[in-house]
Copies of this chain bind each other. A is one copy, B any other.
Amino acid sequence: MIGRTHHCGTLREQHVGEKVQLKGWVQRRRDLGQVIFLDIRDRSGFVQVVCSPEIEQEALKVAERARNEYVIELEGEVVARDPKTVNDKIPTGLIEVHVKKFTILNAAKPLPFQIEADTDASEDVRLKYRYLDLRRPDMQETFKLRHQTTKLIRNFLDDELFMEIETPMLTKSTPEGARDYLVPSRVHHGEFYALPQSPQLFKQLLMVSGFERYYQIVRCFRDEDLRADRQPEFTQVDIETSFMDKEDLLAMTEKMMAKILKELKGVELTLPLPRLTYDEAMNRFGSDKPDLRFGMELTELSDVVKDSEFKVFQSALASGGTVKGLNLKGGAGKLSRKEIDGLTEFVKQYGAKGLAWLKVEEDGLKGPIAKFFEGDIATSLKTALNAEVGDLLFFGADKKQVVFDSLGALRLKFGKQFDLIDKDQFNFLWVVDFPLVEFDEDAKRYVALHHPFTSPKKEDLDLLATDPKSVRADAYDLVLNGYELGGGSQRIYQRHIQEQMFSALGFTPEEAREEFGFLLDAFEFGTPPHGGIALGLDRLIMLLAGRTNLRDTIAFPKTASASDLLTNAPSEVSVEQLIDLNLSVIGKKSEKVNA
């Protein structure tokens, strides 16, 4: 092998006359018989090289055998291009390399898809040949951005005196939260480790240890059914601090996000970031992670319609529910009757029984339920919804959560469908004052909305024993463009409050002791007030890179059925391996679930 003096994409006019040694891939090859032009690519970009008999016959001969994606090395001289062949569009376009020596290091068969930014290969093919997919320039850019982002986060946190400390991957399965991935123990018969859903307890224990400022960019795991923005393993920027209150932590997190946006996207964030309470976010946008890049807020109509004779509204209100409206400005001309009817199916996914609507026309409201909304009530409705001729009004009437979910989803759907969203915007906000617990209809008990270690707000502490559902948590979510980028809270740090919390969640004292005894003990040995936050790194990169698929931000992602199409994991293992673990597989293998 020869050496390497330069990277291809860095050659410029200033190098003219220099002898260079390059290594890389054949990106493109034009064979004009007595002269061959090749674009040679490495990590830094590409440069045009020329082989011809005038320069060196031997090199030309070897280059004749080269094909796209061959790995080569070459020696040559940087030469200014003829003014007629200068290419202004590429950084190396003023020069080319005249090749004196050309060596093929490894050949390449024709590829299943081209190495170019926009590929029409199916995602399955891209995942099976992930090592080729990652060669594409947009993927290279995404992972460069990911590297830069983590580097910037680490440097920021180093400057803020945080210490990176690693926590275990083989941990204990706990009853709260999502489903754990389990790892059978070979040594301890019938026992299992769990892969961490987050390092929550360990980072709290590090605060008990007095480290004061901990961070880790750490892999976490959830064995849940996957969606486009979920992966079984994901990476979070995990932060915990002692003696910092909520305001300190929010300010520091904002400062970090502002630095990322400024340095990597050239965007200036205005700080402090806006905040919405959970109640406000739900009432105005039907979501606890509202996308504020466009308006179209939900309008409370319970008062306005309380005297209407439309039974759907009446029964919703009578059973303690709510009626809300959404105004699609100019929607009358945008959606056909058939499309409007189709939306009923859409909102049914969110538990709505139907979708009432009205068109605003010159001579009043029109539509199947228009007869209930005439005269004064029509006027009040139009005023409340700021409705003008041509607008299309939609209504949700049900239990609050159903109305939030269905109209919130409808709002987002319209936002995308009618291009109301400025895609260049990075719209951050905090959602605060979440409820501490919610009632789980399946389990017939309260469960923690975030996790059981979240502190109640001080002013709501007395309600914890008497009326848990009205207790607000000292918790905060960071939202970006309608995605939950992360969440955090001040933690409980006193044993008696943690015990009250477990009790509110339906744990007996024995169960609490069995599962979390070490934490309760720790609280009695000098635990400082502490709190923290965890940010989803994959999601952050997805949004920074302007992508919509989380898989594009992970080098080797899993499919929606948690398969790796490249290595074919998971896979069957040997009987010996199962015997070592004292396990047997029960039931019959059904059809393999497809990716």
Contacts and interface: CB of A to CB of B under 8 A. Distances in A.
A173 B170 CA distance: 17
A167 B556 contact: yes
Contact of A210 (B25, B185, B201, B585): B25
B172 A570 contact: yes
A40 to B, nearest CB: 12
Q: Which of A134, A182, A590 has the most CB of B within 10 A?
A: A182
Contact of A518 (B107, B201, B529, B567): B567
A106 B184 contact: no
Interface of A: 1, 4, 23, 25, 41-43, 69-71, 73, 105-109, 111, 129-132, 134-135, 140, 143-144, 146-147, 150-151, 154, 158, 163-173, 179-195, 201-202, 205-206, 208-213, 219, 221, 223, 232-233, 235, 242-243, 245, 493-494, 518, 522-529, 554-556, 558, 561-564, 566-573, 577, 580-590, 592-593
Given A183-B183, A193-B569, A570-B172, A71 B583 contact: no
A43 B132 contact: no
Contacts of A42: 210, 212
Contacts of A181: 170, 183
Nearest to A22: B243
B182 A164 contact: no
Nearest to A568: B172
Contacts of A130: 205, 209
Contacts of A144: 163
A493 B165 contact: no
A586 B190 CA distance: 8
B564 A108 contact: no
A21 to B, nearest CB: 10
A192 B245 contact: no
A593 B187 contact: yes
Contacts of A180: 577
Contact of A166 (B169, B219, B518): B219
Contacts of A192: 570-573, 577
B134 A209 contact: yes
Contacts of A593: 187-188
B526 A570 contact: no
A201 to B, nearest CB: 7
Contacts of A494: 106
A518 B182 contact: no
A172 B524 contact: no
A586 B589 contact: no
A99 B323 CA distance: 58
Copies per assembly: 2
B173 A525 contact: no
A contacts with B: majority SS: loop
Given A163-B147, A555-B167, A191 B570 contact: yes
Contacts of A111: 525
A164 B108 CA distance: 27
A272 B581 CA distance: 46
Contacts of A147: 163-165
Contacts of A582: 585-587
A186 B563 CA distance: 11
A522 B131 contact: yes
A584 B581 contact: no
B564 A171 contact: yes
Contact of A212 (B43, B170, B201, B567): B43
Contacts of A154: 151, 154
Contact of A131 (B164, B205, B587): B205
B525 A172 contact: no
A572 B167 CA distance: 21
29 contacts: A4-B243, A23-B243, A25-B210, A25-B526, A25-B528, A71-B526, A108-B524, A109-B525, A130-B209, A131-B525, A135-B209, A143-B165, A147-B165, A166-B219, A169-B221, A170-B569, A182-B183, A182-B184, A184-B583, A185-B570, A186-B223, A187-B593, A189-B588, A189-B589, A190-B585, A192-B571, A193-B570, A205-B556, A583-B584
Contact of A164 (B23, B150, B581, B590): B150
Contact of A556 (B4, B109, B168): B168
A523 B129 CA distance: 12
Nearest to A556: B168
Contacts of A233: 168-170
Contacts of A206: 131, 134, 555
A573 B182 contact: yes
B1 A580 contact: no
Give the 5 A-B residue pairs with the shortest CB-CB distance, closest first.
Answer: A108-B526, A134-B209, A172-B569, A69-B526, A191-B570
Contacts of A211: 43, 134, 140, 143
Contacts of A573: 173, 182, 191-192, 194
A193 B569 CA distance: 6
